[in-house]
A and B are shown apart, each in its own frame.
Chain A
Amino acid sequence: MSSEHPTEGNEALFEAENLTLVYGDTPAFEGVSLSIPAGEITALVGPSGCGKTSFLMSLNRLSDLVPNCRVTGSLRLGGQDILSSEVDLIALRRRVGMIFQKPNAFPFSIRKNLTFPLQEHGVRDRDKLATLVEASLRDVGLWDEIKDRLDAPALSLSGGQQQRLCLARALALKPEVLLLDEPCSALDPLSSGVVEDLIVSLRGRYTIVIVTHNLAQARRVADQVAVFWVQGGAGRLIESGSVGQVFEDPQDELTRSYVTGQRG
């Protein structure tokens, strides 16, 4: 695992340079430069309000939906500038999927939650749809649990099941990247464990960026860790590197007290 080879990473998929995001006049994070290696799991950690969610939302340009929100600096995905106004946002978001903190299945049936986005992306063939539904539910370990009630409302599932359904919904679109914003924090410990194992099982097949408040979880699942901190009224990246390096030998004093549980 890369934690044993701190300097040897995969090629960078995302490259942020001097990235800043403001809501109106207030910066959420400022001057962030970070590379996110392809095929690995990168954890974003840091205290509440340090801009982790905002950073995640800049990676798929979901920040465009927030009124008065502006992103400046440079952000590349596989070498392509994704902050440019010419970027095809639909294609970008298909390539970069996202899961939110609270499970947010649509108020449709379980099946339609999966087929609706696929149909919107041009998959019309019924057999193809059925195959993709099954494959993505198997991917998240939900198939055996719910294969007999695919037409039940998605909102009747438990929180953990809904979160896995949301993951399946994103996976069905075959993204390259998955952005996970505290995907376990709204779940009970048991479901949380299931979702965490699931994320680990996706390692290598997707580039994963996961925000988590749970340092133990970051340590268990991540290859790379980026630590955000509020300094001078805006979130900043204070340290990044492999899990081994950040947890065992942090360079920054704040990181040291944070990972040892003295702050944050």
Chain B
Amino acid sequence: MNLDLIQKIAQVNLLGRGGAAFPTAKKWEMVKNEPGKQKYVICNVSEGEPKVYKDGYILENYPQELISGILLAMKTIGGSAKGFLYLRKDYYQKYQEKFLKIIGSAPIEIFCEPGGYLGGDESAACEAIEGRCTEPRQKPPYPTQKGLWGCPTLINNAETLYYVDKIFKNSYKNTRLYSVNGNVEKSGVYEFNVDLTIAQVLKENCNFPKIDFFVQVGGGASGRILLANELDQPVSGAGSITVYDQKKTDPYQLMQEWSEFFVRENCDKCTPCREGTLRIREMVAKKKLEVKVLQDLFFVLEQTSFCSLGKSVPTPFYDLLTKVMGIKL
């Protein structure tokens, strides 16, 4: 049977590997069906969450495949598509030359991301490439409809496009990349089947801790906190597992790191996220947690934040406070 690439992607049910797990075929279809001569493909390598390294791993080990994936996307969505390789600053410094050589005369431009985490937000990436401040845009319109300079734009994570190349070559084996780190013997990036549970991933690479521990899964800041008895589920988000020693980890220190991260990396646009993260940081620094205030802040962060960054802030705090610190919220 002669399937086109989008059908092939749909058949293996490839989901976006940036964290949101949106069906890749559907996204491609949307951009393909948008009218318009000029279209864009952005390969997103902003990898903003701490403790996630898998996109960097692709840049290091599979640059050819990545560029091939971008070119396939450009060809498939039609129009005279142009590509952007959107690199986090340190990745840009490290890999720019290598990629320039691989890209050669292909219409792909390498772009150095200015901001931090929010640069990873799809619409914020568009703002950045257009030379504005990295703030998320009001949606709709989605980037698939009106992205870069108002043109239909396909934004995919590096890992997604790497696997597109594999699918095209019929060598995709239903795998994904896992970043495993923290209190483990052998931290690193591993490729396993997408359906593995967290416990299985840890066991497969002989990293299953022998100590009392908890893990953070799906991102080193906004990921969920899970206890040792909750590991019988697949790895979510950006595919990271960070192991923490239950006895030696200072929860305040951990929360301090998260809140620093959110305060630094958010765009400060909306009230709950700008002010909420600041107030959380303040409370954590003073080690004076007021339950009522935390409840209020979590409520507005989750319910009223402008973008998914703000909405995701309460998750790790809530988990840590209730599961590890035993605070009733």
A binds B: no
